[in-house]
Chains A and B, each alone.
Chain A
């Protein structure tokens, strides 16, 4: 991808919707395109958090390794982000990310994004609002998932 294509991909990405063009241009300079194959592990639980990804196509599963089994807890895809913990200092990866199909994404070095946020706090505020909205969405979904609403329950004499 050349710079124009990266800029266009970022401008059309749902995660960055409504950000001003100057923010897109700033991020485009930091982005590079990456491709992953099905079954490829993008990162493992415990890995240092280094890269932040915006997914352009394909699906990725977030997994937790338990003794004797792998628990798949969430899938994410086009228009979503992966690796928001790379924007926090000293946090290692909490999950394993495995590609379920060919994945194309734009990758960013988390430290470089953080440096940009610190250098221009208005940009940092706008970007981190996007990250917080994503984290809030995931937290809400996780709480909903924990309710286990489809569990087998007998009620009303059924």
Chain B
């Protein structure tokens, strides 16, 4: 497993290997509706050299999905890392490529490159409690980390999942969130920014859930994913509560194109988010969090 960077990276001097840049066709097995605008695509991985359909990945990594004739996008893998026979992506339909992807039918072919990028620090977090802070579609890249912890429960202390969504109808993986809350040593709390009278749960931004959990800051790893503004607020709150910077990790989403650190579109300070990230420690990325992306 690669360790997320804490020191600046250098640009690639050589073009990426041709194989990295060529989408491999993968068969769409299922499209599952998660919310009114978010769908999960289950793909059969591209065949390997010996005809096997398996794609190993680490929690936090992403693929480039190519909807032939429409366009290519970086999408985080949202499935179980120990089920490599299924490549799972959860996509919010917000533009032409994502809308086209989620309207594909089982049997269709989708181009896949990857997996790419740095993973969540699952090895480093062993023996510690893990605090997951997710907002909106940001829960999707964190779900593989949750699956990993649940499969290796003895390796970790408490698991706390704080999830914020815009409204009750936008809650992603609601059934799983509720089921995780029933597991021993696991707490899963949901909040929405705007709730109607039929919503009986928390209302308020995700950082308001911090007061509902008990953490020993030095014994906790925090994994954050969501809109950058949300992560900034959450990161500041966690630092105030005493979590060390090298135990807070964020998944950044910038304008990734080549996924190999070659084109430079996703440069953030000294980093290429696609190659040096998307998962960064707070210690590494904090100075660059306020940079405006045009």
Contact = CB atoms under 8 A, between A and B. Distances in A.
Interface of A: 14, 59, 61, 63, 69-75, 77, 79-80, 100, 140-141, 144-145, 147-158
Interface of B: 37, 71, 73, 92, 94-98, 135-136, 164-166, 170, 191, 193-197, 199-205, 207-208, 211-212, 226-227, 229-230, 233, 255
B96 A14 contact: no
Nearest to A71: B194
Contacts of A147: 229
Contacts of B197: 63, 70, 72
B195 A14 contact: no
A158 B95 contact: yes
Contacts of A155: 94-95
15 contacts: A61-B203, A72-B197, A74-B204, A75-B195, A75-B201, A75-B202, A100-B200, A141-B204, A145-B205, A149-B135, A154-B94, A154-B95, A157-B97, A158-B95, A158-B96
A75 B189 CA distance: 13
Contact of A149 (B98, B208, B212, B230): B230
Contacts of A156: 255
A156 B199 CA distance: 34
Given A80-B211, A149-B227, A73 B166 contact: no
B193 A145 contact: yes
Nearest to B70: A157
A158 B94 contact: yes
Contact of B135 (A70, A79, A141, A150): A150
B89 to A, nearest CB: 13
The 7 tightest CB contacts between A and B, nearest first, are A154-B95, A150-B166, A158-B95, A150-B136, A149-B227, A72-B195, A144-B205
Interface of chain A, helix or strand or loop or mixed? loop
Contacts of A145: 193, 204-205
A157 B207 contact: no
A74 B195 CA distance: 8
A151 B196 CA distance: 17
B94 A148 contact: no
Contacts of B207: 141, 144
Contacts of B73: 157-158
B211 A157 contact: no
A73 B203 contact: yes
B63 to A, nearest CB: 15
A91 B209 CA distance: 29
A77 B94 contact: no
A114 to B, nearest CB: 26
A144 B203 CA distance: 13
Nearest to B199: A72
